[in-house]
Chain A
Amino acid sequence: MKNQSNKESVRGTGNSAALCKLSSVQKGYYADPFIQYFVQKKEKVEPIMNRGFYMRVHAMDRLISQFLNANSESSEGVQIIQLGGGKDTTFWRLRLSGENEVVNKLVWYEIDFPRTIQEKLRIISRVPKLQEPIVGWPNKVLKKTSKGAELHSPDYHLICGDLRKTEDLHNSLQEHGVNFEIPTLFISECVLVYVEPNSADKLLGYITETFKLPFFVLYEPTNPLDNFGKQMMKNLSKMGCPLLAIEQYNSIESQIKRFQKLGFNYVDVKNMKLLWDTLGKWEAENVDGQKERKRIIRLEWFDELEEWNMIMSHYFVLYAAKNDQISQEKFIKIFGL
């Protein structure tokens, strides 16, 4: 018996993610000086969640970095459109790191539920550190709309929207200066899986039809058919955030076919367990390939080994692009993990 998808519960997953990310940061897994502002009440988080969210952020960060590197020559710049980002802090972390020069030519869009956008704006308005990189804060950037307040600065946009309504989405993006011709990365970090699959597919199709050089990064659960997967479906359903898309796309292979069918000619995936097992191997050849993994293992006791293997096998990251000019090999090399 499936429970109804509860909008507030789905919205609440953003708060849950922020809490786990903060815990992971405070334990020393990775650095993020901004996430603390987005967590109201700190709660105890188990090591498996600390490590799991570290791996999630690690995968997303690497793929974003690869996208920026691959498109650094783009004279008109690049765009990142984050779908349902919740309390995500990547906009600020990118500007802080100063790693990529192309960040100076990056325009960042976030589309989320109106209530989430209002909450994010309230937090930004209280924290000067978050306001610093927002050009024109506050008078030139805060705008009232029929859906709620939004933020529109030259390189940062917070838009109230519903991912199931692609026409409204298109109008909002167009109104706020999206360039449909330049490389654009779309991010769905545990978002599309909560959306009814036909609506999600419509959105994906819209992206490949409307944008000339779209890239996509997707992080989601998968494999609902084994005992762990069945229990996950049941539990999330009870929590009011059922995985609506997962039955139709219940394997990594079906997700690859989905993206190919909807217009992305390059698609690759990595199971999160495999990513953990090979962590550090991507580092430069003169650095100890296992250094990062050893560093993580030393951070705290980790008694959840068997569960770790299980839960990580049920998550994957997918990266896709529509591009007529590069070979599949080059795509994997420049964009892949």
Chain B
Amino acid sequence: MDLDWCLEKLTKNPPEVLPEQVVKGITEQLKEALIYESNVAMVESPVSVVGDLHGQYYDLVELFRVGGECPETNYLFLGNYVDRGFYSVETISLLVCLKLHYPRRITLLRGNHESKGVTQVYGFYSECLRKYGNANVWKYFTDMFNYLQLAALIDEKIFCVHGGLSPSISSINQIRVLDRFQEIPPEGALTDLVWSDPDAVEQETKPSPRGAGHIFGSQLVDKFLQDNKINHIIRSNQLCMDGHQVLFSGKLITIWSAPNFCYRCGNVASILEVFKANNSLTLKYNTYTAAPENERIIPSLETTKEIPDYFK
């Protein structure tokens, strides 16, 4: 597999999608590598943590410009690479190739959109059909999603996950023994990790209005931090107008990396740099706006309906 060739195609402007057989090859290769990896990735600082991308390829390019190119900068992605935006195929293809090429420099966690069911509702399936004429590439990628790791620990002190905590999980070791090699089920611990949201006010853990996962409050957060001897939780899943949001006196951070989300929300994006300074772990936000319009191709020919949509 000539990854340099793949990366060259994917980093052109506009990017070129990889041939179907190549996608089959890279996803097989990544599955083979991931099958031996634990559900919880052990990551060392310095590392930059990235939230939802949702197929916004040009903004990923902007992210690398702002945060530093891979592999010179280490990255931990929290999932949700596909759906909603127009370049899910290019986005996930690029990240898979970078992961294969620089396995120790980039970690890819699973988000709630790395799912066969969700991608049929929110756009990735349709985009694959449009760009390849059939659903094979969608199948290769979504089969591979079942292998993505569920969480990460930075320097054994910062817990990172896409969604949040679960009422059925009190220790990180419990996450380690879950069977992650499956489609995200409708409920349970695996579902909670990728679908849940924190709530500043709620104390009780309740079902989430998203239709999967739970809402959890400071009680569960405090207990989880204490029982697992960690200091922070970094997660994504929720749109933040300022690119990030801090809850519970800094114990929980939400990071969001899709600027002007869906080309309609007018938000900025952030990545979070975690590094050691004076022997202690330091967190620094790097906030950026969407890539300039003259540097992105607006897909008017590729889609049949008007995007973004309003109740017009």
Binding site for B on A (CB under 8 A): 13, 16-17, 19-20, 43-44, 46-47, 49, 52-53, 56, 190, 221, 226-232, 235-236, 239, 241, 297-298, 300-303, 305-307, 310-311, 315
- Is B100 positioned at the interface, with any CB of A under 8 Å from its CB? no
Q: Nearest CB to that of A235 among chain B residues?
A: B308
Nearest CB in chain B to that of A193: its residue: B312
Complex contacts, A44 vs chain B, CB 8 Å: 123, 126
CB distance from A60 to the nearest CB of B (A): 12
B259-297 residues with Cβ-Cβ distance < 8 A to A are 260-267
Chain A hits for B241, CB < 8 A: 227
Q: Which B residues are in CB contact (< 8 Å) with A306? A: 238-239
Q: Does B309 contact A (CB under 8 A)?
A: yes
Indicate whether A43 sits within 8 Å of B305 (C-beta atoms), given known contacts A297-B211, A300-B211: yes
Chain B proximity of A108: nearest CB distance (Å): 23
* Bound form: Cα–Cα A10–B252 in Å: 45
B306 is an interface residue with CB less than 8 A from chain A: yes
Determine whether the beta carbon of A56 is less than 8 Å from that of B211. Answer: no
B209 touches A297 (CB 8 A): yes
Q: Which residues of B contact A16 (CB under 8 A)?
A: 305-306, 309, 312
The digit string for B75-115, where 1 denotes a CB below 8 A from any CB of A, is 00000000000000000000000000000000000001100
Residues of B within 8 A of A227 (CB): 241, 265-267
Instruction: With CB as the reference atom, state the residue of chain A lying closest to B212.
Output: A301
Contact A231 B264 (CB under 8 A): yes
In the complex formed, the residue of B with least CB distance to A17 is: B312
Whether, in the assembled complex, B42 has its beta carbon less than 8 Å from a beta carbon of chain A, the answer is: no
Assembly CA distance A19 to B264 (angstroms): 20
Q: List, in ascending order, chain A residues with CB within 8 A of B112's CB.
A: 303
Write the nearest CB–CB distance from B175 to chain A, whole angstroms: 22
Chain A min CB distance to B242 (Å) = 10
Residues in A whose Cβ lies below 8 Å from that of B123: 44, 46
The answer on a CB contact under 8 Å between B118 and A301 is yes
Instruction: Decide if B310 touches A311 in the complex (CB within 8 Å).
Output: yes
* A43-B264 Cα distance, complex, nearest whole Å: 20
With contacts A190-B312, A236-B312, A239-B306 known, is A302 near B264, CB below 8 A? no
CA distance A71 to B308 in the complex (A): 40
Given A43-B304, A228-B266, the answer on whether A303 and B311 have CB atoms closer than 8 Å is no
Is the Cβ of B265 less than 8 Å from the Cβ of A231? yes
Which residue in A226, A229, A231, A300 is a CB contact (below 8 Å) of B260? A231
Q: How far is the CB of A225 from chain B (nearest CB, A)?
A: 11
Q: Please state if B312 and A13 are interface contacts (CB–CB under 8 Å).
A: yes
Can you pick out 22 interface pairs between chain A and chain B where the beta carbons lie within 8 Å of each other?
A16-B306, A16-B312, A20-B309, A20-B311, A43-B304, A44-B123, A46-B122, A221-B311, A227-B241, A227-B266, A228-B265, A229-B266, A235-B310, A297-B209, A297-B211, A301-B118, A301-B211, A302-B211, A305-B209, A305-B238, A307-B261, A307-B264
Question: Would A300 and B121 count as touching, CB distance under 8 A?
Answer: yes
Residues in chain A near residue B113, CB distance under 8 A: 303
B264's partner among A20, A56, A232 (CB-CB below 8 A) is A232
Tell me if B65 counts as interface (CB < 8 A to partner A). Answer: no
> Are B311 and A190 in contact (CB-based, < 8 A)?
yes
Kindly identify which residue among B122, B212, B239, B266 contacts A230, using a CB–CB cutoff of 8 Å. B266
B210 within 8 A of partner (CB): yes
User: Smallest CB-CB separation from B309: which chain A residue?
Assistant: A49
Residue of A nearest to B207 (CB): A297
Query: With a CB–CB cut-off of 8 A, which chain A residues contact B117?
Result: 301
Q: CA–CA, A231 to B267, complex, Å?
A: 10
Contact with A along B120-132 (1 / 0, CB 8 A): 0111001000000
**A236 contact set on B, CB distance < 8 A:** 310, 312
Apart from A227-B267, A302-B209, 6 more pairs, CB < 8 Å: A20-B311, A46-B123, A228-B264, A235-B264, A303-B112, A306-B239
Q: In whole angstroms, what is the CA distance A43 to B130 when docked?
A: 13
Whether B309 pairs with A46 at a CB distance below 8 angstroms is: yes
The smallest C-beta distance from A325 to any residue of chain B, in angstroms, reads 35
Q: How far is the CA of A228 from the CA of B261 in the complex (A)?
A: 10
* Across-interface contacts of A221 in B (CB, < 8 A): 310-311
Residues 235-271 of B contacting A (Cβ, < 8 Å) = 238-239, 241, 260-267
Nearest-Cβ distance from residue A5 to partner chain B, whole angstroms: 13
A310 neighbours in B (Cβ, 8 Å) = 265
Known contacts: A227-B241, A235-B264, A307-B265. The answer to whether A47 contacts B121 by CB under 8 A is: yes
A residues near B265, Cβ cutoff 8 Å: 227-228, 231, 307, 310
Cα of A228 to Cα of B308 in the assembled complex, Å: 12
The answer for the CA separation of A257 and B263 in the assembled complex, in Å, is: 33
Give the shortest distance, in Å, between A18 (CB) and chain B (any CB): 12
Residues from chain B with Cβ under 8 Å of A229 in the complex: 266
Cα A297 to Cα B212 in complex, Å, equals 11
For the complex formed, measure the closest distance between the CB of A208 and the CB atoms of chain B, giving whole angstroms. Answer: 27
A303 touches which one: B122, B260, B304 (CB < 8 A)? B122
The 8 closest A-B pairs by CB, nearest first: A227-B266, A306-B239, A231-B266, A13-B312, A301-B211, A228-B266, A52-B311, A43-B305
**Of all chain A residues, which has the CB nearest B260?**
A231
> Across the two chains, which residue of chain B brings its CB closest to A298?
B211
Q: How far is the CB of A318 from chain B (nearest CB, A)?
A: 15
In whole angstroms, how far apart are the Cα atoms of A226 and B309 in the complex?
Answer: 18
| Given A230-B266, A307-B265: A301 in contact with B210 (beta carbons within 8 A) | yes
Chain B residues with Cβ below 8 Å from A241 are 312
- Among B210, B238, B310, B311, which residue has its beta carbon within 8 angstroms of that of A302? B210
Q: Which residues of B contact A305 (CB under 8 A)?
A: 209-210, 238
